[in-house]
Amino acid sequence: MRPKIIRFPRHNWINFLSVLIFLTFLTSDVRGQDLNQQQKNRFIHEIGLRLGSTTGAGLSYCIWYKKVGFELAFIPTFNSKVGSSSVIGAGILTILKEHEAINLIGFIGSTYYRVPTTSTQAAYAELNAGLGGGLYFTLLEVISVQVLTGYGVFDVIDDFKAHITMELGLYYRL
């Protein structure tokens, strides 16, 4: 005995999609806003360079939504004899105090360093983390700069150390 296949009439799917589209428009935020309010609510994308021991180093991408940002930085290196090594870092940023010219921000970040085994050195990995604050400002409306300082814990896997950290980011706004 074969199982009975239930087939829905085509008009039921059209009704379902119509209701779904109606509910989407009904629940979406469609208030009248001025241009400045719209720009404050949109995502801001930035690409650039980052140098930091707890938020990563190398090529970086940062995305902001309102007062919260997320950044990702990496340096991939390739060597035909040894293999590849990498530095990968990520951080969460938040604007604590907003001013016209310069903003006070806080950050929390983590970086993972990995170096492969060579003929003279064993494989090495290091995990760093840190938190702190700093300044975030924009030059010429397209260049943004982050200067951060805080406290970091370094090499938490093997040889735990803790001391002051310094971070610097230079970005181009898309």
Q: pLDDT for 148-168, tens place per residue?
A: 999 999 888 788 889 899 999
CA 106 – CA 129 distance, rounded (Å): 14
Question: What is the topology classification, in CATH, of domain 38-173?
Answer: Porin (2.40.160)
Q: Is the pLDDT of residue 19 over 80?
A: no
CA 70 – CA 58 distance, rounded (Å): 15
**Helix H or strand E encompassing 82:** none
Q: Is the pLDDT of residue 82 over 60?
A: yes
- Yes or no: say if 88 and 55 are a contact pair by the CB < 8 Å rule: no
Q: How many Cα atoms within 13 Å fall on the side-chain side of residue 30?
A: 5
Percent of the chain with pLDDT over 70: 70
- Yes or no: say if 168 and 144 are a contact pair by the CB < 8 Å rule: no
Please, what is the Cα angle at 47 between 43 and 49, to 5 degrees?
140
pTM (2 decimals)?
0.69
Mean pLDDT along residues 7-21: 55
Mean pLDDT of all residues in the chain?
A: 79
Query: What is the pLDDT, as a whole number, of residue 148?
Result: 93
Q: Is the pLDDT of residue 37 over 90?
A: no
Say how many residues make up the chain. 174
Mean pLDDT along residues 28-38: 47
Please choose, from the candidates 116, 106, 67, 70, the residue with its C-alpha nearest in 3D space to the C-alpha of residue 89: 70
Please choose, from the candidates 62, 128, 137, 131, the residue with its C-alpha nearest in 3D space to the C-alpha of residue 98: 137
Alpha-carbon Rg for the chain in angstroms? 24
Q: Are strands 57-65 and 43-52 parallel, antiparallel or unpaired?
A: antiparallel
**Helix H or strand E encompassing 120:** none
Per-residue pLDDT reduced to its tens digit, 92-132: 999 999 888 889 999 999 988 887 766 676 777 888 999 99
Query: What is the pLDDT, as a whole number, of residue 139?
Result: 87
